[in-house]
Structure 1
Amino acid sequence: MRIIIISGLSGSGKTIALNLFEDTAYYCVDNLPATLLPTLIDQLVHQGVGKAAVAIDSRSGDSIAALPQQPDVLRKAGHEVHFLFLDAKDETLLKRYSETRRRHPLASDSRTLVESISEERRRLARLADLGHRIDTSELAPNALREWIRQFITPNERQTLTLLFESFGFKHGVPLDAELVFDVRCLPNPHYNPALRALTGRDAPVAAFLDGEAEVRRMREDITRFITTWLPCYIRDNRNYLTVGIGCTGGRHRSVYLAEWLASHFQAQSYVQETQQVRVLVRHRELPPSPPLPPAETLALQPAKTRHA
């Protein structure tokens, strides 16, 4: 059975995620106590259900302490299990609660909204690293749906998803990035009037940055670093590795480099042991772009890099 466990901060978008899974024919359960998860899965298997999405979060009370052990238990029983954790900055959560005027699950007469968010973050701290983490702070609902849709695409041969995410530092560093590269030191197309309204996905901006020696050195250094250490992340049993590429506004340099790196790692062929890798690219400050075509097999060689 294919099982998606969804958790995260209240107000981070779990309802949007659960609705998406429901729309894609998953059996969905919200607010399940963690201790009941194995029982639920046994019942669904008995009923012939092939895939399920279950939301488990701070509303489960003390039973949330049992959740970190559940994915491994289910995997040992033969199930395919993925864990999705949705996060957001405190100021974003405060704004969302202010706009919706909903009550926080941990709110009480003696606890303010700010204190409730802080307490929930403390309770869920152990869960953030159980699987894939998405920072929804700057995401519109449609963008969040697209990001989640990319990660639920079945691919039995895949062992790791390598994601390149561009962003603007002035909007904050994404919480879901394991690696972050700062490219604000590179020449900025924003100061060229002919390029200012374009983005790093446009050919004139790409041509401008291709012509800069510093840009070429930066992308080669990032490529070499990822190529060297990606096998170590795979040996660490990671399902996802998110690489953040940040410039000032997140529209030119970071977008160009994220696109270039994604295309490079999708196209390259290495000559050692075969490891299955899927490559994705996102641009936090831009409208969603079409996903890359299905990735080829990448045989990873930690000591050697081929440059495009």
Structure 2
Amino acid sequence: MQLILISGLSGSGKSVALNLLEDSGYYCVDNLPVVMLTVLVRMLKEEHTRKVAVAIDSRSGHGIDLLPERLHKLAEEDVNPTFLYLHADAETLLKRYSESRRRHPLASAGKTLEEAIRAERELLDPISSLGHRIDTSGLKPAALREWVRQFIEAEPGQGLTLMFESFGFKHGIPLDADLVFDVRCLPNPHYDTALRPLTGRDRPVVEFLEAEAEVVRMRDDIGRFVGDWLPAYIRDNRSYLTVAIGCTGGQHRSVYITEWLGREFAQRARVLVRHRSLAGN
């Protein structure tokens, strides 16, 4: 059985992810109480259901604390779920709730929306590091669907997945980053009017950057650092490692280096490449 568990903050995109999984042929269950997880999996195994996705969130209340124990029981039964945790910054969540006018599940007469978001973050914090985290701040639904699609297409159980992600510092550092490299000190194609509308994936920008010795040196230094320490992260039994590369706007320098790293490590690990600032446009 391929079992994917989805959790995270209300408003972070769990419904978008679950809908994508349903469209991909998964049997989906939303808002399942944690105490029912093992019962559901056993029942579906008896029915020979191969692909299952379950959303578990704060509506389970403090029963969410039981999730690590339930995951251990599933492992004893040879079911090893893939856990996906979605989250976003407070500003993004407040904006989404304002636009949708939906009620937060932890809202009450004496609690503001901001307080409800903070309470939910604290409630879910114990399980937030159980699997792969996606920071959906600033992401449009189409971009999130693509990121989740890439996530489920990565073959499970084959070791560490290495995520290279570009971003713009003016939009904030990604919450899901494990390692962050700042490349704002490098020559900026933005100041060339012919290159400004392009991205770090376009050949003219690549040629501009690769003609600069500083760019090549920093690119190679980052690649060497990640390569030197990758075995240690693998020994730590990590399933995912997210390496974030940031420039000012997340359009040229960080995109170029992220693409280069993705190609450089393609034969050493399962690699995913994402461009946060480009996806948000």
Partner of 2:270: 278
State whether residues 206 and 256 of structure 1, in contact with CA within 8 Å, keep that contact through their aligned partners in structure 2: yes
Q: Say whether residues 1:180 and 2:180 are aligned partners.
A: yes
Looking at structure 2, the residues matched to 244 and 195 of structure 1 have their Cα atoms a distance apart, in angstroms, of 23
TM-fit CA distance, 1:235 = 1.2
What TM-score, normalized by structure 1, do the two folds share? 0.88
In 1, Cα distance between equivalents of 2:166 and 2:34: 35
Paired amino acid for 2:84: L
Mean alpha-carbon deviation: is it higher for 1-10 or for 157-166? 157-166
Q: 1:229 and 1:279 mapped to 2: Cα distance?
A: 16
152-161 or 248-257: bigger deviation: 152-161
Q: CA contact under 8 A between 2:62 and 2:123: conserved in structure 1?
A: no
| Residue of structure 2 in register with 1:238 after alignment | 238
The letter for the 1-side match of 2:119 is E
SS in 2 for 1:198: coil
TM-score for the superposition, normalised by structure 2: 0.97
1:281–1:94 Cα change, 3 Å: same
Deviation at 1:69, TM superposition (A): 2.5
1:33 maps to what in 2?
A: 33
Q: Residue type matched to 1:282 in 2?
A: R
Counterpart in the other structure of 2:71:
71
Partner of 1:299: none
Q: How many residues align?
A: 280
Aligned residue type for 1:284: R
CA–CA separation in structure 1 for the residues paired with 2:235 and 2:267: 22
Structure 1 unmatched runs, 5+? 269-276, 289-308
Q: 1:88 — aligned with what? A: 88
Residue of structure 2 in register with 1:106 after alignment: 106
Q: Is the partner of 1:64 in helix, strand or coil?
A: helix
Equivalence for 2:24? 24
**What do you get for the CA RMSD once the two structures are aligned?**
1.3
For 2:64 and 2:242, the matched residues in 1 are separated by: 26
Alignment of 1:138-287 (within 5 A): 138-153=138-153, 155=155, 158-267=158-267, 277-287=269-279
The alpha-carbon deviation at position 287 of structure 1 amounts to: 4.1
Question: Conserved in 1, the CA contact under 8 Å of 2:184 and 2:247?
Answer: yes
Distance in 2, matches of 1:24 and 1:128, equals 25
Deviates more, 1:71-80 or 1:103-112: 71-80
Sequence identity (%): 64
Rounded to whole Å, the distance in 1 between the matches of 2:72 and 2:220 is: 38
How far apart in 1 are the matches of 2:129 and 2:101?
30
